[in-house]
Amino acid sequence: MISPYKGTFRVSQAFDHLRANGTLHQGFDLVGISSKQLHSTVYGQVIRAGWENSKNHKQGFGLRVVLRIAHTNYFMYYGHLSQINVVAGQKVKPGTLIGTEGSTGHSTGSHLHWEIRECDVRTGYQKMPEYSSIPNVAGKTAYTSGWGADLLGSTLLKEGGPHTFPACVWISTLQAHLQSLAYDTGTADGIFGPKTTAAVKMFQKYMGLDADGKVGPKTKEKVFYIE
């Protein structure tokens, strides 16, 4: 499971929930139980950090942070924060402290609104349950211990496989993390091409794994184990 919390948290509003105004809720509303601190789950760069509307703090997401995920066309949103710990232009990686859960903007209680959009536009909402495996049930509690193999998703990653959402995000995390370990995967664009395959094979060989260039559970565990 992937979440920006470390420890136990609760789903307060599910993805695609039909709201009273007739619109669909295009993200997760989450409430931290163990901690209110929020972390990055991806490699990327802060695009925006601050008030959605500096003249009206009750508008929209209030204090929010938007990340571009690696070199993909996907953007991760953190809304309604009480405190921000990053600045625009800053590079982030899994575990980077983004800020603290709050109730700024259009909000009735402390929570995080967490979503991913393609191309940073309102029509680009992506299915958060598919990316995160967070149970899509309001009131459900869940637990994440940190940011490791789960960040690479639940499916086999390989050349020629899907590179649309959510696989694109998982692959970009793999590429960026291998780069941090000095393996050349090419651009962390979420496309699993020959250069990424070659880098994975080199890593697998170094770790004593079957060097087939495919990233399954054993390779995923090793990728983050040696950080």
Please tell me whether residues 60 and 122 are part of one structural domain: yes
pLDDT at 177: 97
Q: How many domains does the chain have?
A: 2
Same-domain pairing of 129 and 207: no
Which pLDDT score is estimated for 210?
Answer: 97
- Model pLDDT, residue 226: 52
Domain encompassing residue 199 = 150-225
Residue 1 lies in a domain: no
Q: Note if the pTM is more than 0.85.
A: yes
Q: Name the domain boundary from 83, 116, 147.
A: 147
Q: What would the pLDDT profile of 96-143 be if each residue is shown by its tens digit?
A: 999 999 999 999 999 999 999 999 998 889 999 999 999 999 999 999
Q: Across the chain, what does the average pLDDT equal? A: 94
User: Of the residues 147, 169, 197, which one is the last residue of a structural domain?
Assistant: 147
Q: 154 with 221, same domain?
A: yes
- For residue 54, what pLDDT band results from cuts at 50, 70 and 90? very high
- Confidence band (pLDDT; 50, 70, 90) for 22? low
Backbone angles phi, psi at 170, to 5 degrees: -60, -45
CATH code of 52's domain = 2.70.70.10
Domain membership of residue 130 (yes or no) is: yes
For residues 42 and 95, state if they share a domain. yes
pLDDT band at 19 (very low <50, low <70, confident <90, very high): low
Amino acid (one-letter) located at 138: A
Computed over its alpha carbons, how large is the radius of gyration of the chain?
A: 18
pLDDT value, residue 50: 98
Contacts of 53 (CB under 8 A, 6+ apart): 59, 60
Residue 63 pLDDT greater than 70, yes or no: yes
